Structure 1
Amino acid sequence: MADLTAVLASTHHPFYLKATTDTSENRLPQADEWQRKVEAYRETLAAAEPDVLVMVGADHFHQFFLDNYPTFLIGKQEKYDATFYNEEREFGLPTYLLDGDLELSNYLHQGLLDAGFDFSFSHELKIDHSIVCPIITVRPQADLPIVPIYTNIFAPPMPSPKRFWDLGRAIRTIIDAWPSDKKVAAIGTGHLSLELGGPRMFGNHGPDPEFDAQAIEWLSTGNIDAILSSVTHDSMAAVGNATHGFMDLILMMGIAGPQQADYVDQLDLFHTREMYMTWYPNKTGKLAAAAERAARSSHASLGPVYATAEAGAETSKESKEGVPA
């Protein structure tokens, strides 16, 4: 059977590459720290030695719109074009031609249908920055095949947070049952509190540091009961109009299971808090040592982080270089 070697959940700030390769006098003050943290996080995936990546993200109205926005969709292709023109222009993201894994795509699709999730599918899916960004940050060589899963976190009506949790649990069961000797890593990105185009967009930190701290604690401790009793569509909208991307982080915790994370890191950046989290479902001594090395390099934490709203408010200087999504 397949070996789920790692589950990674993070935010996906599209200006990472542009900010950390800028050598001008306008270089972001936090760029060095940001790069150090991402490079440390990258090692938590490398140590797992995956053969294929199941990648969870959302389409930012690039190819899905209000005339046809699927609730859940899986890609089923041998190759995937990645990065849209506006992402090249605004964020400086490179284009890719990514390999797919048709065997795992087909197996997951059938298994999810059997589990009661009526997935759409695509043979012509183009990948946007919700998946390109984690490739840039945790697998910049882009040398592994992917199975992309897209969720609706933008266009009401949206599935409930519990539906995202249940989907994560179903994906875990299906990966565990896949009759393959491959090592699988699951990588998903979403949002903490986030405001796009609204009055709280250009603050020194995310629009709601208290929610961000609480959300990281819930995720890092595997506290799904607290999430499901506290998080609703309305409560997410109240802390930022794009906060519904938090549901993709719930989905990733569902794949990992209700357990403590093995690696947790975070960074307050202009108008957002970045988060990096890794679980090792079948943790070995080698993986534990890798997490420890990454934590030392990043000054991050092993296991849960009990952040505070006050800590979240100690933020970096305001920058209006760009808007994360």
Structure 2
Amino acid sequence: MAVVSAVLATTHHPFFYRETVLTPQEKRRPEAEAWRHKVEAYRATLTAARPDVLVMVGADHFHQLFYDNYPTFLIGKQPKYDATFHNEERYFGLPKFVLDGDEDLSGFLLQELIDRGFDFSVSHELKLDHSITCALLSVRPEADLPVVPIYTNIFAPPLAGPARFYALGQAIRASLEKYPGDRRIAVVGTGHLSLEIGGPRQFQDAAPDVEFDRRAVRWLADGDIDAILRNVTPEVLKAAGNATDGFLDLVLMLGVAGRGKADYADHLELFQTTEAFFTWYPQDTT
């Protein structure tokens, strides 16, 4: 059977590539070099896992999914995926990609997750945005592995809660471990911590809720789902910033990883956000 060789949970800040690659060194922000070093160290945790395929968890930022029909959970099932929308090129300088898919693994996961009680939508014409491409630029810039994208709804209420996201993570892990063959599968998911988009706290010098971020980093590093379920409510997420629901995808990744402490955990408090990086190595996969 397949093995889950690594589970990575991170943020998908679209300015990373612009600030550390595109911007001339003399014009970069003071934090840019520290950010680059942290991401390179984090990248090594995926390389060490020797994956054959990436299951990637993200969310569509109203590029292709909208309020009129935004599925709670969706999986892509295609031989190829175009990635990067025009506004992401224009504002963030993100490159375009054409990524290989894995239709067999997508189809297997779709059926398994439906059988486990998750009513997934499926797309055969999904275009991927920066929730996927920013993760690739961070941990696999070669973009040389096939991907299976899973999108969750973290934007269009009503939203599933932390318990449901965690349970989906557990179901993804159990399903992947049933996949026939000897492939090494890494699961890479992106969300974020406290975040304000278009609101009065968007352009502060620090994240909108640094205290929430510090607690969230500790919960994820410790694998403390019990603390998350006790403390994280829709009201808490809203108070931390109007886009903090992206934390739900990090909870999902903890579900894939299990309750153990992260093998790698780091964070960086940047302009307007806290960036965090976690890796778990499931047992007996090295």
Q: Verify same fold: TM over 0.5.
A: yes
Deviations 1:217-244 (A, max 9, x none): 1111111111011101111001100000
- Residue identity matched to 1:219: L
CA distance in 2, matches of 1:26, 1:139: 26
TM-score (norm 2): 0.98
The aligned counterpart of 1:209 is 210
For 1:184, the aligned partner's letter is: I
CA distance in 2, matches of 1:202, 1:15: 14
Q: CA deviation at 1:283?
A: 5.7
**Deviations, residues 39-75 of structure 1 (Å, cap 9, x unaligned):** 1100000000000000000000000011110110000
The aligned counterpart of 2:62 is: 61
2:230 corresponding residue in structure 1: 229
Whole-Å separation in 1 of the counterparts to 2:239 and 2:181: 44
Residue 9 of structure 2 aligns with which residue? 9
Once residues 258 and 195 of structure 2 are traced to their aligned partners in structure 1, the CA distance between those partners, rounded to angstroms, is: 25
Displacement of 1:28 = 1.1
| Preserved CA contact (<8 Å) 1:81 1:96 | yes
Aligned twin of 2:43: 42
* Partners of 1:4 and 1:185 within 8 A in 2: yes
Q: TM-score, normalised by structure 1?
A: 0.86
8 Å CA contact retained: 1:10, 1:275? yes
Indicate yes or no: 2:79 matched with 1:103: no
CA contact (8 A) 1:39 1:137 kept: yes
Write the distance in 1 (CA, Å) between the matches of 2:222 and 2:31: 28
Letter of the aligned partner of 2:125 in structure 1? E
Shift of 1:24: 5.2
Q: Please tell me whether the aligned partners of residues 164 and 248 of structure 1 are also in contact (alpha carbons under 8 angstroms).
A: yes
Asked whether the equivalents of residues 4 and 282 of structure 1 are also in contact (C-alpha less than 8 Å), the reply is: no
Q: Is it true that 1:249 corresponds to 2:253 in the alignment?
A: no
Note the 1:295-314 alignment, pairs <5 A.
none
Amino acid at match of 2:147: I
State the distance in 2 between where 1:25 and 1:108 align: 47
Aligned partner of 1:169 in structure 2 is 170
* 1: CA distance, partners of 2:27 / 2:52: 39
Q: Which amino acid aligns with 1:237?
A: K
**Cα deviation 1:6-45 (Å, max 9, x = unaligned):** 0000011101111012115421111111111101100000
State the 1:214 CA deviation: 0.4
Per-residue CA shift, 1:166-212, capped at 9, x if unaligned?
00000010011111210000000001011111111111211111110
Does 140-149 or 197-206 show the bigger shift? 197-206
Structure 2 equivalent of residue 296 of structure 1: none
Residues in 2 aligned to 1:116 and 1:127: alpha-carbon distance in whole angstroms = 26
Superposed counterparts of 1:116-127, under 5 Å:
116-127=117-128
Does 198-207 or 258-267 show the bigger shift? Answer: 198-207
Q: Map 1:190-201 onto structure 2 (within 5 A).
A: 190-201=191-202
State how 1:272-283 maps to structure 2 within 5 Å.
Answer: 272-282=273-283
Report runs of 4+ in structure 1 exceeding 2 Å deviation.
Answer: none
1:262 CA drift (Å): 0.2
TM-superposed deviation, 1:162: 0.6
Secondary structure, counterpart of 2:6 in structure 1: strand
How many matched pairs? 285
CA apart distance, 1:282: 2.1
CA distance in 2, matches of 1:36, 1:113: 40
SS for the counterpart of 1:195 is coil
User: Following the alignment from structure 1 to structure 2, what is the Cα–Cα distance between the partners of residues 275 and 205?
Assistant: 14
The CA distance in 2 between the partners of 1:269 and 1:185, in whole Å, is 27
Gaps of 5+ in 2: none
1:79–1:97 Cα contact (<8 Å) kept: yes
1:114 aligns with 2:90: no
Cα distance in 2 for residues equivalent to 1:226 and 1:40 = 28
1:142 lines up with 2:166 in the alignment: no
**Mean CA deviation greater in 5-14 or 225-234:** 225-234
Alpha-carbon RMSD across the aligned residues, in angstroms, is 1.0
Q: Structure 1 counterpart of 2:188, which letter?
A: I
Structure-2 change in CA distance of 1:36 and 1:74 (3 Å): same
List gaps (5 residues or longer) in structure 1: 288-325
| Percent identity between the two aligned chains | 62
1:132 alignment partner AA: T
Partner of residue 130, structure 1: 131
